[in-house]
Amino acid sequence: MPSLSDNNRLSVFSGSANIPLAQEVARYLGMDIGPMVRKRFADGELYVQIQESIRGCDVYLIQPCCNPVNDHFMELLIMIDACRRASARQITAVIPYYGYARADRKTAGRESITAKLVANLITEAGAQRVLAMDLHSAQIQGYFDIPFDHVYGSPVLLDYFATKDLSDLVIVSPDVGGVARARAFAKKLNDAPLAIIDKRRQSHNVAEVMNVIGDVKGKTAVLVDDMIDTAGTITEGAKLLREEGARQVYACATHAVFSGPAISRLSSGVLEEVIVTNTIPVPEAHRFKQLTVLSVANLLGEAIWRIHEDTSVSSMFR
């Protein structure tokens, strides 16, 4: 557990999106979540009031932008504004899951780049720093003109795989866009070989798997992605890997978005295990036998401590 040299100047608050994660982070820092009132008016508008003085404090607001995305994102903006008006010295938006990240560039005419819009709104609300985990695309950091710390859930996932003592591993990227992520993961697992699934996406949340680039026959395949949404990509990829002769297939991702048919697909038996983290809360209704949820609270807590103490965050991942 870190020792804060300036503990009375640090405050941690949580939005309603993932209070258990925020409580774990606060425990790692040896403190409690700050008191806050949140409620709704009759027409659905959100109201937030900080219940203690934060004048001159470094404030960290923990809020993933998960379902319902619009409510949670708006709540984050209101929290930021409340802290700015309460004379906080520095406001850091801690966003374990950055919503609206998939539209990070224009791929057709007359589209919005929502990842950039979200960045503008967070900055305009008054945040002076952002801490986020496993962005859908790394260039989102460049959409901000304020300091941005990007941390990774991979150390937690890698530690878990190290305890499983799996043999003949091959790390698989579910699409070409995730090759860099899968390669970095493979390097940390004793330079395990890499395979890539060639995929053609016909529309949003609809994926058609084509073929596997690389050798998976007789191996234990680990599919690595940043998020699992409807689980179409992961499960179709797992089926293809089995057809190509993979002995076992695991899937791991940082963000358990789990939309629509995801649970029925993931629990269908095509995967030995699905490993995710708690950046997004996984309710009991979304739990199934093959699911393992790991905590990233210590990672986020360590990053907050290092930011507060003006020490290196990137050295956590060397």
Q: Which of 279, 277, 309, 306 is nearest to 292 (CA)?
A: 277
- 203's CB contacts (< 8 A; 6+ apart) are none
CA distances from 317 to 34, 226, 304, 314 (A): 29, 17, 15, 6
- Catalytic residue at 199? yes
Q: Which of 199, 217, 219, 289 is catalytic?
A: 199
Residues 6+ apart with CB under 8 A from 200: 207, 208, 210
280, two tokens: 């997004």
Whole-number Cα distances in Å, 129 to 9, 62, 147: 16, 12, 5
The C-alpha atoms of residue 120 and residue 273 are separated, in whole angstroms, by 38
Angle at 295 between CA 289 and CA 101, to 5 degrees: 95
> Measuring CA to CA, which residue among 201, 294, 175, 228 is closest to residue 66?
228
- Assign 227 to helix, strand or coil: strand
Catalytic residue positions?
A: 199
